[in-house]
Amino acid sequence: MPLMRTVDAAVLIMEKEGATEAFGLPGAAINPLYAAMRAHGGIRHTLARHVEGASHMADGYSRAADGNIGVCLGTSGPAGTDMITGLYAAFADSIPMLCITGQAPVAKLHKEDFQAVDIASIAAPVTKLAVTILEPAQLPGTFQKAFALMRSGRPGPVLLDLPFDVQMATIEFDIDLYEPLPVSTPRASRKQAERALDMLTASARPLIVAGGGIINAGASSKLVELAELLDVPVVPTLMGWGIIPDDHPLMAGMVGLQTSHRYGNATMLAADFVIGIGNRWANRHTGGLDTYTAGRKFVHIDIEPTQIGRVFAPDLGIVSDAGAALDVLLDVARERKAAGRLPDYGQWVAQCAHRKGTMQRKTNFDAVPIKPQRVYQEMDSAFGRDTTYVSTIGLSQIAGAQLLHVFGPRKWINAGQAGPLGWTVPAALGVVRGKPGEQVVALSGDYDFQFMIEELAVGAQFNLPYIHVVVNNSYLGLIRQSQRGFEMDYHVSLAFDNINSPETHGYGVDHVKVAEGLGCRAVRVDDPAQLGAAFAQAKELMAEHRVPVIVEVILERVTNISMGTELDNVTEFEDLAQTGADAPMAIVALLD
């Protein structure tokens, strides 16, 4: 059996498990692992400017493509605590990610040594596994277990903490004898699938709610096939957006209090049966449960047993991987189709399509300063079907989800449940690593953009080109809107007169200068008629320089974006579309 350092074994295992894309910062306590990576050469490393940024890069990389596992590396102490927000974001959205921290030598633990913190205990609530490896011989097995846990059941991140002396220790290890642990997934039975379809076909107005678990399972095409076979409309959740293309006749719109379509909410309220697959009934999707559940039956299919009944009790719960459930549902549906035993839902589908063609929001505003709705209209015009959007939280993300168009799985990459400000820049860089050569467009408000703006330098240094649309109203817009209920506008303005940039006209931070100082290119737009030209210029600059390109759009200071307290109580603050000219980029032409 070959003798090697544990860190050399770790690198060989990472390579065999397919985790070859790392983001991080070296440091004294993690230098042995970096030395092993340097000697081996099989792990590509991207140097971040902040360890939290590195964790979001690894998260973005994991979300970019089926099977990806991003790796985040950091030294001891604060590097691990910096990772916690990244671990939380990945854990909340069921994203596999491997975080490795250095640690003080085993003999120094619990002695208040420099940067010696019990990071495993800190990370435990937001990981599937968090462990400090105290015995060198346990490293291969712990790594093996970690990779299996990341991929099995509901996916999620893990943290492995490596004391310095454990990294340097010598063990016997043969990578040729190492095998990844098999990943077992629960599978729906034939009987369960038959019962679910019995309930669906007994209804008059059924809907499929398609969640992010379908994307995790790589089963989006199966979902579309099932919907087409049954002729049943689909409502994707925010994490499932793109499973079915927005322009598909059975795409019925998104539902919720914020990131939703008017026609999606109306269709949900008209439905009498819902089958949710790979979703978790998030509160901003459901709103009040009495309104959401009244008058309709529910089937819930999820890979995690404790998700069934967590929010409300379904009429039928099935524990299954989404892809496995779709396989058996398709088998049963095909048989019933061939036997002529499926109902005709043509009238229901036509009703959903009519809502989609009539209940649209206006986007074609010509006001100066620019209204945000116009920005998304021009983005829909400028960026094609193959674009991948990246965003996290705020009015920018909410309005973007209401008005942008997405045409495939993993083409809307969003920090959903955690929604940490600052996630978008580093996550977009990770997505670029995970989608080489593809068009990536990030969307931020000015506050999200400022949180981790230093990571733009990573994109410049490593030639990670993408376009970042920054909608700047110099406000914490979502918080300002939520303060309306308290009749205040308190500490949410970011505006000031910038003595170095009078051209910002009181909007404060000069994002163009900051971006250029970090090695990127930037364009500022304050006229809606120039948005199309600005996006075209950004594409040219990105192609020429191979760096991130920022398009900063100066918005009106205050815009209230549609949202509400219940599915039947969403406030529309702006004019609605009355003619096709009001919403020229709507996903379907406005019906008279």
Query: E strands of 454-562, at which residues?
Result: 467-472, 521-525, 549-554
Burial of 54-78, coded b for 16+ CB within 10 Å and e otherwise, reads: bbbbbbbbbbbeeebbbbbbbbbbe
CB within 8 Å of 245: residues ≥ 6 apart? 251, 385, 406, 407, 408
Calpha distance 299→532 (Å, rounded): 44
Burial of 569-586, coded b for 16+ CB within 10 Å and e otherwise, reads: ebeeeeeebeeeebbebb
pLDDT value at residue 592: 66
Burial of 475-502, coded b for 16+ CB within 10 Å and e otherwise, reads: bbbbebbeeeeeeeeeebebeeebeebe
By the 8 A CB rule, do 150 and 156 touch? yes
Residues in the chain, pLDDT under 70: 592
Q: Where are the alpha helices (DSSP H) in 189-282?
A: 190-201, 212-216, 220-230, 262-270
Calpha distance 180→558 (Å, rounded): 53
Pairing of strands 21-24, 44-47: parallel
Look at the domain 190-357 and name its fold. Answer: Rossmann fold (3.40.50)
Residue with tokens 């059941």: 153
Residue 420, Cβ density class (10 Å: 0-12 exposed, 13-18 middle, ≥19 buried) = buried
- Bridge partners (DSSP) of residue 358 are none
pLDDT value at residue 87: 98
Cβ atoms < 10 Å from Cβ of 181: 15
The DSSP call for residue 251 is B
The domain spans of the chain are: 3-177, 190-357, 372-561
Q: Is-same-fold flag (3-177; 372-561)?
A: yes
For 47, what's the count of Cα atoms within 13 Å in the CB-facing half-sphere?
7
Q: To 10 degrees, what angle do helices 424-434 and 51-64 make?
A: 40
In this structure, whether the domain defined by 3-177 belongs to CATH 3.40.50.970 is answered with: yes
CA proximity to 510, closest of 446, 559, 429: 446
Calpha distance 437→453 (Å, rounded): 23
For the entire predicted model, the pTM comes to: 0.96
For 590, what's the count of Cα atoms within 13 Å in the CB-facing half-sphere?
17
Pairing of strands 563-564, 570-571: antiparallel
Identify the CATH class of 372-561.
alpha beta
